[in-house]
């Protein structure tokens, strides 16, 4: 196959156990063992940033499989004790993860710039990764850790936030600040979120945030107020808070490497999300993920890319949605020229008549537009 984006053979499906707990079913193509297990204990997580000098939580060889536990920030970063807070919405004490309680208790001891935002597990150091390489991250399994998730809505968040561009005089509906505790489980063999008595949303777990350590966070860049410390709010060339729902089981994410070992972080776990993430958050639900990390030596990319069995995905990231669409188009043209042998004119023509440009998310400071290239277009 003439492409620098190599999809490593993986097959996995999401199923529901007899106890109603979602898990990803391993088949013969998945490894029987993993090289490292990383729990989401206070020592293994960082809050709201991607430090470039943090002690690795694991060191593994290229090609290794690692199981990583992650926590939703919903229930773990508010002022109120997690058991009391979640109990307001019908969650029993037994349903509150110990890791949530422990991370919540550790907040006061953390530096002020590391007390909010997302809960991120990492970094994982991948041996042999050097600046100028690409890290391939295969998503092998995603397992919800609790039978519920949280979504919140208001008139002042997401696309209705005060700093979000809007037409003059734009009328915003009155939406009270509301936390929606949504139960998840199984119906006729399908994993669903029980949105209401009349609405069931099929679950599709994915990690909202996957990143390598950024190259050189500088004050003035999006999400950088402390030199050398990139906050996890806006995504960027390092990946980060992309909130792209197709980065689910079976996908492979490609990230440029900026530091030795790549230094991979993961968090912001989601049970399901629509393109756009319009309220500012998805179904926020703690997950455990199993990933295979492979270093692609000497392959240099400018930002995150991905693929599944059926599509290539080229991402454009910018604070302006129009520029993000332009960048996604340029990335897609570059891919079609270098990997599929098209001329720039033919590549742009294909972009216009056959390729979908989707909004992954528009609520995280920088917007993400994704060129979705169907593999079925290519006969060889």
**295-326, pLDDT tens digit by residue?**
999 999 999 999 999 999 999 999 999 999 99
pLDDT(53) > 90 = yes
pLDDT bin (cut points 50, 70, 90) of residue 245 is very high
CATH class, domain 12-166+175-308, is mainly beta
The residue-averaged pLDDT of 347-356 equals 98
Do 9 and 140 contact (CB within 8 A), yes or no? no
- Residue 377: name the closest of 293, 302, 312, 291 by CA: 312
219: which DSSP letter? B
Nearest C-alpha neighbor of 243 from the set 210, 202, 203: 210
Span 268-286, mean pLDDT?
A: 97
Name the pLDDT band for 3 (thresholds 50, 70, 90).
Answer: very low
Q: Give me the helices (H) in the chain, please.
A: 82-87, 98-106, 321-340, 344-354
Nearest-angstrom CA–CA distance, 199 and 189: 16
Residue 304 has what pLDDT?
A: 98
């Amino acid at each position: 196959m003439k492409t620098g984006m190599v999809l490593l053979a993986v097959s996995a499906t999401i199923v529901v156990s007899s106890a109603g707990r979602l898990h990803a079913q391993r088949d013969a193509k998945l490894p029987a063992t993993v090289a490292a297990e990383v729990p989401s204990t206070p020592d293994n997580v960082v809050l709201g940033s991607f430090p470039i000098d943090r002690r690795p939580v694991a060191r593994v060889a290229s090609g290794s499989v690692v199981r990583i536990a992650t926590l939703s920030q919903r229930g773990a970063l508010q002022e109120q004790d997690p058991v009391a807070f979640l109990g307001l919405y019908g969650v029993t004490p037994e349903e509150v993860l110990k890791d949530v309680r422990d991370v919540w208790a550790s907040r006061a001891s953390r530096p002020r710039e590391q007390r909010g935002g997302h809960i991120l597990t990492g970094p994982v150091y991948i041996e042999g990764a050097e600046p100028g390489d690409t890290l391939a991250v295969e998503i092998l399994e995603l397992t919800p850790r609790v039978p519920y998730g949280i979504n919140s809505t208001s008139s002042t968040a997401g696309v209705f936030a005060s700093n979000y561009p809007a037409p003059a005089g734009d009328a915003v509906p009155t939406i009270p600040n509301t936390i929606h505790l949504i139960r998840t489980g199984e119906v006729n063999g399908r994993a669903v979120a029980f949105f209401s008595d009349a609405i069931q949303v099929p679950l599709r777990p994915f990690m909202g945030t996957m990143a390598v350590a950024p190259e050189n966070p500088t004050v003035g860049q999006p999400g950088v107020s402390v030199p050398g410390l990139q906050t996890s709010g806006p995504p960027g060339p390092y990946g980060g808070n992309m909130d792209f729902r197709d980065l689910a089981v079976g996908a492979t994410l490609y990230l440029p490497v900026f530091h030795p070992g790549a230094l991979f972080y993961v968090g912001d776990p989601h049970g399901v999300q629509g393109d756009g993430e319009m309220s500012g958050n998805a179904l926020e639900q703690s997950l455990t993920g199993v990933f295979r990390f492979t270093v692609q030596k000497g392959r240099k990319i400018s930002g995150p890319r991905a693929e599944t069995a059926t599509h290539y995905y080229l991402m454009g990231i910018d604070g302006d949605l129009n520029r993000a669409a332009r960048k996604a188009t340029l990335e897609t043209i570059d891919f079609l020229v270098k990997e599929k042998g098209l001329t720039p004119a033919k590549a742009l023509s294909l972009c216009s008549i056959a390729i979908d440009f989707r909004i992954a998310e528009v609520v995280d400071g920088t917007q993400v537009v994704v060129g979705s290239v169907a593999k079925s277009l290519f006969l060889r």
